[in-house]
Amino acid sequence: AQKITQTQPGMFVQEKEAVTLDCTYDTSDQSYGLFWYKQPSSGEMIFLIYQGSYDEQNATEGRYSLNFQKARKSANLVISASQLGDSAMYFCAMRETNTGNQFYFGTGTSLTVIP
Amino acid sequence: DAGVIQSPRHEVTEMGQEVTLRCKPISGHNSLFWYRQTMMRGLELLIYFNNNVPIDDSGMPEDRFSAKMPNASFSTLKIQPSEPRDSAVYFCASGTNYYNEQFFGPGTRLTVL
């Protein structure tokens, strides 16, 4: 089974609107970390936000927030007030701690912000 | 801080040649990761080190690939001999511990003809 599933290959959002990028994960570990990265067309991988499995509050970083629903095993990224510069690939990732700290990435979602 | 440094940024080589990719992690980081990214397979973890020791190399595709970390500030990923299917972008990332985020380098785009 896939460890990280991103079901939206491509998404479009109007500038200044909010958008949610979906991510579900599969693990039997109690302790794990969830991450979102942004990869613009220039190719670099930019860390956006982190959520620990024991964190009770949803993580927030500026315009980014992570909607963590542990029972559903989902870790959706919410981008508020989209900007043209948000157009990029977005990757969800998970690190398990009880299985050798293996790190898994999803296949990514391509986000296009429309002016 | 200069961030994670990778060299070269681009490498074009012929099949059968040895390729060495280099990485300098962020100072003070004790974990280092090598990834490969292709359109077909996405982002794959090849190997990671903690305190210069390889922890998990199960992602290394085959014996042609080897990675070393002789000290806390330098790591290499070597492919010998290279094949066209090794063409990809190779990322190095470093972190401070298993829970924190990883910081990625700019990547090395490898083309094997």
Reported as a single tens digit per residue, the pLDDT across A25-78 is: 999 989 899 999 999 999 999 999 999 999 989 999 999 999 999 999 999 999
A75-104: average pLDDT:
89
Reported as a single tens digit per residue, the pLDDT across B1-41 is: 689 999 999 999 999 999 999 999 999 898 899 999 998 88
Q: Do A47 and B107 touch (CB under 8 A)?
A: no
What does DSSP assign to residue B25?
A: P
Residue B69 half-sphere exposure toward CB, CA atoms < 13 A: 22
Spatial separation of the C-alpha atoms in residues A6 and A14, rounded to whole Å: 21
- Token code pair at residue B103: 């910081």
Burial B51-76 (b: 16+ CB within 10 A, else e): eeeebbeebbeeeebebebeebbebe
Q: How confident is the model at residue B101 (pLDDT cuts 50, 70, 90)?
A: confident
Nearest to A44 among B55, B100, B106 (CB): B106
Residue B33 with chain A: CB contacts under 8 Å: 103
Which chain B residue is nearest to residue A43, measuring alpha carbons? B106
Work out the number of other CB atoms within 10 angstroms of the CB of residue B10.
10
Residue A105 with chain B: CB contacts under 8 Å: 42-45
pLDDT of residue B81: 96
